[in-house]
Structure 1
Amino acid sequence: MKTEVLKNFIVLEGLDGAGTTTQLNSLTAKLIEDNLTVFKTFEPTDQNIGRLIRSVLQKKISLEAKTISKLFVADRYEHIYGKDGIIEHLDNGEYVICDRYLFSSLAYQSPDCDFDFVYNINKDYPLPEYLFFISTPVEVCQERLDKRGDEKELFDAKEFQKQVVSFYNKALEIYKDSGINIQIIDGNKSPNDITNEILNIIR
C-alpha cells in the first residue's frame, strides 16, 4: 500500500456515541493553547454534498446504499482537494483534525455495499499521519445516544453497530502497514484522560 500519508493530518474514528466529536473540540483547544494553528473539520462535511448526506442519515430522503457510498466519496474529494480543503490547510502549515474519514465509510457502508466495493472507491485518497480509534462498547455508545434524546439516525441501530465494529477492525488490520500511526484508545476512560493520551502521542 503506497498511498500518500499527510503529515499533521489527524483522524478520529469510533462508533456513534464513542466521543469523537468531544475529542475533536478538546484536542483543537489544547493544540491552540500550544500556539499551533489548527483546522478542525468532520465528515460528512457541511458543504452541499455533505448536507445531502446528512438528509439521508436523518432519514429525510432515501437512496440506494451504493449511491450513499458514492456521495461520501464525492464529499470527501471536495473535502480533501477543494477550496478551503484539508490539503490547502496542511500546505499552510496547519494541523488538521478530522472527525471521521474514509475508515468510517469502510465501517458503516460495508454491511450494505460489500467491503471490497467501499474500499476500492476510497483506496486512492491520501491517509492521515495519525488515526485514533476510540474503542467504546456498543452498549455504552447506545446508552449515550439514548441520553442525548435525539432521534436515531440511519446507521445507529444496535445490531448494525455491531457489524460496524467488525468492519472497523477489518479496516484497521488492512491499514496497519500503510504508514499511518494507528492508535486504539480505550473509550471507557474519561474524556479528559482520552484527550491527554492522544496529546501525549501527538506531542
Structure 2
Amino acid sequence: MYICLEGIDGSGKSTQIKLLEQWLYNCGHEVLRVFEPTDSKVGRLIREMLRNPHATDENFQRTLGLLFAADRTILMDKIIDAEVEGKVVISDRCFYSSIAYQNGAEWLSQINKFARKPDLVLLLDLEPETALMRCEGKDSFEDRSFLEKIRKKYLKLAKEEEFFVVNANNGINKVHEDIKRIVARRLGMCV
C-alpha cells in the first residue's frame, strides 16, 4: 500500500509520518518512508531553489513544477519496488503537492502522468496561523496569505479526490490516533 500525507507547511506531516512509520513497524509491517523532494540531484536542486525569495512567484512555481515531476519520476521505481516486496510506503507529499502549490493547471497532470497515485491520501488540515507558529525559520512559503490559498486548493482537491481530511489543529497524539484509525481500516487491522 502507498500512503501519502499532504498539507500546508507546518501541518505536522514529518512528525506524523515518523509516528506512523513506527506504529506500522510495531504492528509487523515493513515500511519504506519517502519524501518529496528526494535526496536525488534534482531533489537537492529543488531544495536549494525553495530558499529563493521569489519561490512563490508564478513563473518560479512553473519551474518547480517541472523539477518536481522529474524528481518524482526518479522516486517511482523505489516505490514500485517496495510495494512488490510487500512494504507499506508512506510519503511526505506526492504529486498532489504540485497541483496545490504550482497552481493545479492541466499541464501539471500531464507531466505527472507517470507518477503512481497513492492508495490513500491523508490531508493534515489546519489554519495557516497555527502552521506559521509551528514553522521553523522563515522562507517564502511561510506567509499567511500564501498558505491560506494553498489550504483552499488542498481542501478542494480533498473533495474531488476523496482524501481523508484530518484535523491537524489537535495535539500530536490525537492526530496520530486519527491517522491510525484510518490506516488500520484500509489495511484491515485493529487499532
Both proteins in one fold, TM over 0.5: yes
Q: Under TM normalisation by the shorter chain, which class is it?
A: 0.7 to 0.9
| TM superposition shift of 1:123 | 4.2
Structure 2 residue ranges without an equivalent (≥5) = 185-191
Amino acid at match of 2:119: E
2:183 aligned with 1:190: no
- Any idea what the Cα deviations from partners look like across 1:107-160, whole Å, max 9, x if unmatched? 1111xxx53332332245221111100111111001112xx3x2x223222111
Amino acid at match of 1:75: D
2:186 aligned with 1:200: no
Quick check: 1:108–1:155 contact (8 Å CA) kept in 2?
A: no
- Any idea what the Cα deviations from partners look like across 1:140-190, whole Å, max 9, x if unmatched? 001112xx3x2x2232221111111121123223323xxxxx210011111
In structure 2, the partner of 1:58 is 51
Q: Which of 167, 174, 177 is the aligned partner of 2:160?
A: 174
TM-score by length of 2: 0.88
| TM superposition shift of 1:60 | 8.4
Q: Which of 135, 141, 145 is the aligned partner of 1:159?
A: 145
Runs of 4+ deviating beyond 6 Å: 60-63
Quick check: 2:124–2:166 contact (8 Å CA) kept in 1?
A: yes
Identity of aligned pairs, percent?
A: 31
Amino acid at match of 1:118: L
**Measured at CA, do residues 171 and 120 of structure 1 come closer, stay the same or move farther in structure 2, by a change above 3 Å?**
farther
2:130 aligned with 1:135: no
Task: Give distance in 1, aligned partners of 2:110 and 2:146.
Answer: 22
In structure 1, the partner of 2:187 is none
Amino acid at match of 1:73: A
In structure 1, the partner of 2:111 is 121
Task: Give distance in 2, aligned partners of 1:50 and 1:56.
Answer: 10
Quick check: 1:55–1:61 contact (8 Å CA) kept in 2?
A: no
The equivalences for 1:10-29 within 5 A come to: 10-29=3-22
2:67 aligned with 1:71: yes
2:70 aligned with 1:80: no
| TM superposition shift of 1:17 | 0.4
Structure 1 residue ranges without an equivalent (≥5) = 1-7, 177-181
